[in-house]
Amino acid sequence: MAQSHMVLFRFYVLKASFGEGNSCFTSAQLENSFRDSLSMLDSGKLVHDCLLNTSKGADDHLIEFSEALRTVAKALRQVAEGKASAQAEAAEWRRKYELERERNQHKELSSQGAQYDSKEITAENLSDQTVPQTISIEQLEKCCGKHGICSHEVLRDGETDFESKMNHNKIRKKVSSTQAKPHFIIEDNLRFGEGVNLRKASFRLSWGCNGSGQHKHDIVSFERGNITTAERSSKQISLKWESQPQTVLILTKPNSSPVRSLCAEMIRWLKDYKGIDVFVEPQVRIELLSDSPYFNFVQTWVDGFLDNLVHEAHLNEEIMFMHTKVDLVITLGGDGTVLWAASMFKGPVPPVVPFSLGSLGFMTPFQSEHYRRYLDSILKGPISITLRHRLQCHVIRDAAKDELETEESILVLNEVTVDRGMSSYLTNLECYCDSSFVTCVQGDGLILSTTSGSTAYSLAAGGSMVHPQVPGILFTPICPHSLSFRPLILPEYVTLRVQVPFTSRGHAWASFDGKDRKKLAAGDALVISMAQWPVPTACQVDSTNDFLHSIHEGLHWNLRKTQSFDGPRES
């Protein structure tokens, strides 16, 4: 178009000049000039056509290049899925190998201890000691029949699997030089609570046992090609003390005057009327002594922040074996105090009695005003308890050599959250369940919650409320950029893997029960599975009653005005 305009412009200029009688321009000159302009117009068309053909060719190349990139991305994703599947399978085989090795070591250690006891320990030495007891085969057959599927267990003063795993090396060194059983050697090595009665109370847990003492079971039969369930047990768990509790650990909500005064009053009552040894946190003991020297009998563990001479490993060891010395844990606060109590126990957890002194409590059914009546009933027993399962989480960095090279595992009672932190980009998370690809999360993040945590962050993100004794893991997205991304509830036996892909625009951040945030860079992975040590919390009535009461009182669940009875009626 520009070329044609130029030709017309030159034609009119020539014509005007010729019309004015300018002798400089002849008709031949005008004709030659017009021919030059036409040739220029033809060349412009050629250039324009050439540019059009070039742009079309470039577009075709770009389309081919984008398709090639899409194919490469798909191939890389398939490779990543295959790698994750192989790593998960290798980790599972490694875990089975470790469990088998530990089981063999435990059997070898038990046989050595039995041989040593038969040779060295006399009846006189055993008269003052607490010996682990087991249920005989005759008792099992009497209670459950020959199949032995009764869901009850007796827990006594014995070395637990956790103690065996953590201390079998120490036991082997001490057996040859001391005149005591390995169980008592472990107690000698513990420095937590020196100078007090260290004998731990024993108790019995029973599942699905009604008032008459008759046990029910889930019996599945297969007759004539039909699968039927004969009967179902309630699975309500009951705790009965077989020896009186002697030691109580009280954990309190910090910076609260009502909690502080109630703690002092409860300690006086436990010591004066029940004769129970009381442990508190180091800072709480300092506050109690500042109020009155009467609380000098209250025990605690050494605080590394208060005593710089204490090594951190020594402090961790004392807290690690706290469950071997404490019969009962009392929390004064809200759900946050219960989470803090659970985080202190890296292995087995003693029964927890949570008193409600916080702003909102789904796990604190006991009212502090009647603590004497509640504690008196709990110390006598039996009581109903809720086994609140925990998640075991560990981070595997991209630089790790294999799946076994992980960071220290973290136990959570509520949830583990993976979010985008301060980044303005969407999180990009690849999720796997065992060896199966689940989905790629694109949004603000992901919540992996226990059923106890279903009324916490997961509920706010749109997850369902689940009874705390339902075994499962909640898979809840946070503000997903998809209308079809609905929450899931997965079985408790699966292992979940959340990985940040190398194509992610930003980092992700993982937090565990709202603290201990860890940065997840591209290639890092977070592995989550159900922990083997639940948190047993005492119930005021029973597990179901306490759960329904908590959602009614805490959330005002389904609270509305009742429909008026007058008005039109169905004939």
In three-state secondary structure terms, 147 is: coil
| Neighbour tally for 278: CB within 10 Å | 24
Q: Which amino acid is at 499?
A: Q
Whole-number Å distance between alpha carbons of 519 and 517? 7
- Which candidate, 378, 369, 393, places its Cα nearest to that of 495? 393
H-run or E-run covering 443: strand 436-449
Place of tokens 């008032």: 211
In three-state secondary structure terms, 206 is: strand
Whole-number Å distance between alpha carbons of 326 and 351? 9
Whole-number Å distance between alpha carbons of 152 and 233? 12
- Which candidate, 501, 502, 510, places its Cα nearest to that of 528? 510
Relative orientation angle of helices 27-120 and 161-175, to the nearest 10 degrees = 60
Whole-number Å distance between alpha carbons of 387 and 400? 35
Residue 170 structure tokens = 């120490």
Q: Judge contact between 382 and 238, C-beta under 8 A.
A: yes
Which residues are marked as active site? 335
